[in-house]
Homo-oligomer: A and B are copies of this chain.
Amino acid sequence: MNDLLSHKHKDVREKVRQLLKDPEFDLDLISRDKNVFREQTLKWSQLLADQGLGAIAFPEKYGGMDDMSKYVIAFEELAFHDLSLLIKFGVQFGLWGGSVYWLGTEKHHDKYLNDIATLKIPGCFAMTETGHGSNVRDLLTTAVYNPDRETFTIHSPGPEAGKEYIGNAACHGQMATVFAQLKTLGEDYGIHAFIVPIRNTDGSSIDNVHIIDNGHKLGLNGVDNGRIYFDNVEIPRENLLDKFGAVDKEGNYTSPINSPGRRFFTMLGTLVGGRVAVPIGGLSATKKALTIAVRYASKRRQFGAEGKQETIILDYPTHQRRLLPLLANAYAYHFALHYLSERFTNRTEKEAQEIEALAAGLKSMSTWNTTATIQECREACGGKGYLGENQFADLKADTDIFTTFEGDNTVLMQLVAKSRLAEFRKEFGKMNVSNILRFLKDQAETIVLEKNPVVTRRTSEEHLRSEEFLTAAFSYREEQWLSSVGMSLGSAIRSGKDSYNAFLDHQNACINLSKAYIDRVTLEQFNKVVTSAEAEIYDVLKDLRDLWALSNIEADKGYFLEQGYIEGAKSLAIGSQVDELCAKLKKNAVALVDAFGIADQLIKAPIVQS
């Protein structure tokens, strides 16, 4: 079972692992003084760049492997080390490098990619503004073309237009990809990206670029975030990253994509890689927290029967209930996120929208799970969990922003729902009246079939733990949310409500719809792993799958009962199965965290040193 979660891309994985064993990567070097920590993080990033890890996602021509899924593996491994380093790495090579690669053209690649991959040019990804985080389309920074000088003027028209929380900005960044409203010859062409120098090699700011340190943050204090303001900064015309929109000498704008809306979403879509990598990094932190909490729980004793040795705390049903479903979650998201990574790496244009929705949804669900899991692990280790030395402090603080950056989860879940609803509308729109009637009749029949008392009341272990029941329940929930929100939205819009306000009325339902979708996809991936598992690990993986799926249904039992999909007795039986699976999996809990494969020297918590 040892390499169950780490058999992919062993080349990159081993390279990172070996590198992190270098004494230069000693975690004890981390300082609580953010200035010292920031320099350490830069130094570590340089060591990674020197080994060619900065170029993984770039073409071979620029020293890379042209493989996004390998970049994701590097992210997964680096996150076991330190999360400030991970984010610094992601800012430099993923965001700054990635934006030049995906939004620029060959001239930009030739000029910059090598220097980015080797960290010769530290840079920033300057999208978010103080006034606009989620709503990127309405950013205020402007880029006005000056035909006479063949330059763009980059400008922040007020404090709300300052670029906010920009990694690498406070200390190290020399250039930035700046997102701004492109204006030329009196026309506004919307958001485009520009390469803007912000700092000289001696560390001083470029004239008319004002940078303010974001100061102390909740976590990730090894990353130098800052605000950047541009006061009419002129850059050459060539600094427009012009893959999706170019301006010629005279100022004429051209784009391979005519629709401004589609152009905007295509540009942003190329940057979705962050939404694949970030949750994987968060999941590594989750695994580290679980490793510590489970190992501790398997040794720590407290209370017990009179006159006997105290009880191991993992033997307490409450403790099993706290940790084991979270352990199952970590496996579930591991399988789902690696599926996403492969699909993203090999995506065709036709699949792009589906994969973007999947990335947005999985990023959200998985990072929420990260926050919840690390919290529970901290609490499950009591006062020991509160001491800095036992590692939860940094894991918690550093990952807390994962639910916000690369897209606020609540906003992303609305996007996922909209994408699903668009599919639903497409399907529905194709139908004529008789097809719609047949669809509704089929759906009603399925529901009658599934809601038959024989099914809603079945409580046998065999039934509850069958792939058939689990898949049917997850699919029912997904389809029910989709069709009920879809129908209800449709009728609101038909009755004259504008689509913005109609959606507003269904915001909370949209989140349920998106969750149901991601849960169904995650179950499918877990099922695949179970089906193809080797004999010796089949049982434990099926137990884990069952625990994950049944505790998911249990947490949402109000919904299933409300719908009449299950009856009270079945709901109670599901709860009992969860209890039994927790008790059963307890025996394998340590082996299951060992299988995360985190190097011993990275688990420094004294509470798990024997």
Contacts and interface: CB of A to CB of B under 8 A. Distances in A.
Interface stretch (A76-84, A203-211, A345-353, A377-385): A377-385
Interface stretch (A51-59, A252-260, A399-407, A592-600): A399-407
Interface string A316-330: 111101100000000
Main secondary structure of the interface of A (DSSP, over half): helix
Given A378-B218, A404-B382, A303 B134 contact: yes
A578 to B, nearest CB: 10
B216 A500 contact: no
Nearest to A303: B135
A561 interface: yes
Contacts of A410: 318-319, 322
A375 interface: yes
Interface of A: 32-34, 128, 132-135, 138, 164-165, 214-219, 302-306, 310, 316-319, 321-322, 371, 375, 378-379, 382-383, 385-389, 392-393, 396-397, 400-401, 403-405, 408-410, 414, 498, 500-501, 504-505, 507-508, 511, 554, 556-558, 561-564, 568, 571-572, 579
Contact of A404 (B219, B317, B379, B561): B379
A337 to B, nearest CB: 21
A396 B214 CA distance: 19
Contacts of A498: 305
Given A310-B135, A379-B404, A561-B562, A218 B386 contact: yes
A260 to B, nearest CB: 13
Contact of A500 (B219, B305, B379, B500): B305
Given A218-B385, A386-B401, A557-B561, 19 more contacts: A32-B32, A32-B216, A128-B383, A132-B302, A133-B302, A135-B302, A165-B383, A217-B386, A217-B393, A218-B378, A218-B388, A306-B500, A316-B507, A371-B375, A378-B400, A383-B405, A386-B404, A554-B558, A561-B571
A318 B508 contact: yes
Nearest to A319: B410
A318 B509 CA distance: 9
A325 to B, nearest CB: 12
A403 B382 CA distance: 9
Contacts of A138: 310
A217 B388 contact: yes
Nearest to A393: B218
A4 to B, nearest CB: 30
Contact of A32 (B34, B214, B507): B34
A42 to B, nearest CB: 20
Contacts of A316: 504, 507
A148 B385 CA distance: 44
